[in-house]
Amino acid sequence: MSDDARLDLPNPAPRPEGELELLEKVWATPKGWRIVTAVNNTVIGVFYIGAALTFFVLAGILALIMRTQLAVGDNNFVSQELYNQLFTVHGTTMMFLFAVPAVEALGVMLLPQMLAARDLPFPRLSAFAIWAYVIGGLVFFSTILYDLAPNGGWFMYPPLTLMEYSPGDNADFWLLGIGFIEISAIAGAVEIVVGVLRTRPPGMTLSRMPIFAWAMLIFAAMIIFAFPAVILATMLLEIERAFGWPFFTAEKGGDSLLWQHLFWFFGHPEVYIIFLPAAGLVSMMVPTFAQTPLVGHRLIVVALVATGFFSFGLWVHHMFTTGIPALSLAFFSAASMAVAVPSGIQVFSWIATIAKGRERFRITVPSLFILGFLFIFTLGGLTGVMVALVPFDFQAHDSYFIVAHLHYVLVGGMVFPLFATFYYWAPMVSRKMLSERLGRWTFWLMFIGFNVAFFPLHIAGLAGMPRRVWTYPSNLGWDTLNMISTIGSFMIAAGVLAFLIDLAKNFRMGSGAPENPWGASTLEWLPNDVYSTRSIPHVTSRDPIWDNPNLPREVEEGRHYLPGVPTGARETIVTSPIDARPQYVIQMPGPGWMHLSAAVFTAAFFLLLTVKAVTISIICGILAIVSCLVWAWQLDKPSQGEVDIGAGIALPTYRTGSSSHSWWAMVVLMIVSAALYLSYLFSYLYLWTVSPEVWAPVGSPALPALGYPLGTAAMLVLGAVILAVRQRSLPREPKRDVGTAIAAVTASALLIGALALEIWGHWQTGLRPTASSYGAMVYMGAVLTVQAAVAVIIMCFFAAARGLTRQLTRERRVTFDNAAIYYYYTVAQGLLGLLLIHGFPRLAG
């Protein structure tokens, strides 16, 4: 036993009477239909997984329809038009409505328990994310039922998806429909980054953090950098479709390859966003079934990090056949091979752990799915290295070989670990475990069915069968392979059905399942209830339950940190990012209606815009913002002084400044905004290299006189200075704060004035956004800064309102600080934009 284990336990026993009852009362979940207002991560997590599973089944049904159509040649089971919608909705649903939400759901459900936190740091944010996703996702999916589904493939390439070739609302459903998915994903990323780095239990240093926490941290970081590229791409395409700004139209200096760059810059990391959490889960389960610590723990951490980074250098491997120079292709080919090394490290580590097990590796349903994952994912990885070779990909691109490869890596790499997860972690949230018998039927049907369905497609692809064809001639020798594949797909469906039967028979939400039935070592297997653990443990190793078998009892007796609710409300401990030193206690919100209302109106805003119901869409948007403001008004509770968490440690209950969780969330949001703006910067420079002939001063009206950008810059800087000065002179005591209100209004007015001047400057030169890709890009820069400005003005007015209602002081200042730092970011973005728009053409011209 380590030295640290001989430390005295933080809190004495027995615990005061009524302490546990108060803990239960404060963390109780709403009953009956009010469950929709719940924010507890276990409740939201189960809803989230349920929704993701529903979309998996729905998209799977679409796959069965496609496989039926392709079972024989010259078939007309479905029309060509419907088939195009089927493969588009299947792919989009699987990638956006199943895969990413499913792993996010597991993060929501499992991370707080693995980190012995009482909940995620922003509980209502996850609840908002799931409701926006459920409502928006169901409406999006339903478009397949009334011929309104998008039909340009899940990657929606222009020019096919421009108005000329896709005139209906179908493409708009995709573009605007995944808008709320993007918001959900980013909301989740904020939660996870702050949760993993700041709400670990005391003593759980980075080196002792569970692998799944590492995987989710990297997942969240990847979302932060990858999603903005597709957000920009969808904005550009929707604006071109709606208003004719020619970003992707070659005749006016645009380039459809720009879409591909933006989409795949997101799209390749996306598949690792899906895979890495699954790999993290496998890394948690394998040691349990081998009953030995993970071999190469450090190597796996390194492999996860390396995969996360390298995956951003692969995107052009989806574009090998587009005519890009070979040397550029070689960079991406090399990176595509390099990324296989860390994946291989993980696979060998798992195999080594299985081999090193103190007992024989236990074969259970979860471990069967893990073995199945190893087999299938490795095969997918091998074909991945094949297609990383440029000359081979020239032949295999857009053939069924790629369809086979992608399903091997995604189904093998994510779906199989997911099913292992269901069986392994069900006892955490269900009163009964799932059935071993039915589970084995599920596994074998899915495993055999999968290989029967997809292995022949490698051969079909090499035999020349292209992707996304609704039928094929019977005389090309593809019939038998397709028939075999179709039979396999129905076997997979039978396996999934067996699983659904198992769920219906055995899954019952609530506690009562066997405690730690697998003999695992990590904290989520401590005794749990609605409040997570009775006390938050002091952690001294990577396998805390194995290293201290008394830990469950100690925690349940309230002997560790924060066994009660000293503030009388929901709270958890915030610790430092590397060493997990306790820093303060967050006061967290409980159930409510406003985040639900915000989610409903956010989804409605996007979906009504899609069908061009603009007025009602705007009303819904305003209601979404109002809901968010009411929701935010309920946060930022005043300090309740210091509270004793045990071991003589007294922690404050309010924190402001750069170590506060709220500040960290704002920093993450700023990184997302910056990634969005950098994607725009890339797009601007890229289009210049493609079409310099439409750029000012040669191909477009001359730039405005320098007075315009200088005036804009002056107003931006002045607004920032006003807020910075006010930041140093907030009132000491709560009082009606008119000074902050004046500063906020003035800074907002300066921001509006600056942007109006910038836009007017270009307008009065005669430059129009529809004239050329240059014009479109100039005005797009303003659009992006206006977008940030709208958010920051709302935040400034919110802070002003807090000041006027005596809720803003030098100590209680989070709302003002958040508005101020985002204002400074907006100013920095605006200044960079001015340099680009007004400086670059003068330099290049």
Partner 1 sequence: MERFSQHRSATGALVFLLLGPLVWSIHFFIIYAAHASLCALTGGMGTVWITVIILAVTALGALALVSAALGPMPVYRLLVRHPGGDEETRFLIAGMRLLAGLSTLAIIWGGTAVLVLPLCAQLR
Q: Residues interacting with partner 1, by CB under 8 A?
A: 3-4, 6-7, 197, 202-203, 205-207, 298-299, 301-302, 305-306, 308-310, 312-313, 321, 323-328, 330-331, 333-335, 337-338, 341-342, 394, 538, 576-581, 647, 685, 689-690
Name residues whose C-beta falls within 8 Å of residue 491's C-beta, 6 or more positions apart in sequence: 445, 446, 448, 449, 452, 453
Rounded CA-CA distance 270/383 in Å is 19
Name residues whose C-beta falls within 8 Å of residue 360's C-beta, 6 or more positions apart in sequence: none
Tell me whether residue 334 or residue 363 sits nearer to partner 1 (CB atom): 334
Q: Please state the closest distance from residue 796 (CB atom) to partner 1, in A.
A: 28
Rounded CA-CA distance 448/136 in Å is 34
Q: Where are the beta strands (DSSP E) in 199-266?
A: none
Tell me whether residue 23 or residue 304 sits nearer to partner 1 (CB atom): 304
Q: Please state the closest distance from residue 123 (CB atom) to partner 1, in A.
A: 24
Rounded CA-CA distance 121/200 in Å is 11
CB 761 within 8 A of CB 771: no
Tell me whether residue 305 or residue 828 sits nearer to partner 1 (CB atom): 305
Q: Please state the closest distance from residue 689 (CB atom) to partner 1, in A.
A: 4
Neighbouring CB atoms inside 10 A of 373's CB total 27
Rounded CA-CA distance 587/589 in Å is 7
Nearest Cα residue to 178 out of 105, 63, 263: 263
Phi and psi at residue 649, in whole multiples of 5°? Answer: -95, 120
Query: What letter would DSSP give residue 147?
Result: T
Tell me whether residue 256 or residue 321 sits nearer to partner 1 (CB atom): 321
Name residues whose C-beta falls within 8 Å of residue 698's C-beta, 6 or more positions apart in sequence: 692, 845
Neighbouring CB atoms inside 10 A of 809's CB total 18
CB 392 within 8 A of CB 479: no
Tell me whether residue 659 or residue 765 sits nearer to partner 1 (CB atom): 659
Phi and psi at residue 583, in whole multiples of 5°? Answer: -120, -50
Rounded CA-CA distance 338/335 in Å is 5
Nearest Cα residue to 507 out of 197, 13, 53: 53
Q: Please state the closest distance from residue 251 (CB atom) to partner 1, in A.
A: 19
Query: What letter would DSSP give residue 36?
Result: G
Nearest Cα residue to 170 out of 200, 194, 142, 191: 142
Tokens standing for 750?
């300066």
Neighbouring CB atoms inside 10 A of 652's CB total 14
Neighbouring CB atoms inside 10 A of 147's CB total 12
Tell me whether residue 51 or residue 668 sits nearer to partner 1 (CB atom): 668
Phi and psi at residue 638, in whole multiples of 5°? Answer: -70, 160
Tokens standing for 141?
């999916």
Tell me whether residue 124 or residue 538 sits nearer to partner 1 (CB atom): 538
CB 768 within 8 A of CB 694: no
Name residues whose C-beta falls within 8 Å of residue 205's C-beta, 6 or more positions apart in sequence: 578, 579, 580
Tokens standing for 161?
């998806």
Tell me whether residue 83 or residue 663 sits nearer to partner 1 (CB atom): 663
Amino acid at 723: L
CB 524 within 8 A of CB 447: no
Name residues whose C-beta falls within 8 Å of residue 595's C-beta, 6 or more positions apart in sequence: 39, 124, 125, 127, 128, 131, 627, 631
Tokens standing for 111?
């991370």
Tell me whether residue 6 or residue 732 sits nearer to partner 1 (CB atom): 6
Q: Please state the closest distance from residue 13 (CB atom) to partner 1, in A.
A: 19
Amino acid at 349: S
Q: Where are the beta strands (DSSP E) in 529-688?
A: 571-575, 582-587, 642-646, 649-652
Q: Please state the closest distance from residue 203 (CB atom) to partner 1, in A.
A: 7
Give the CA count within 13 Å in the CB-facing half-sphere of 15. Answer: 24
Q: Please state the closest distance from residue 690 (CB atom) to partner 1, in A.
A: 7
Rounded CA-CA distance 317/268 in Å is 9
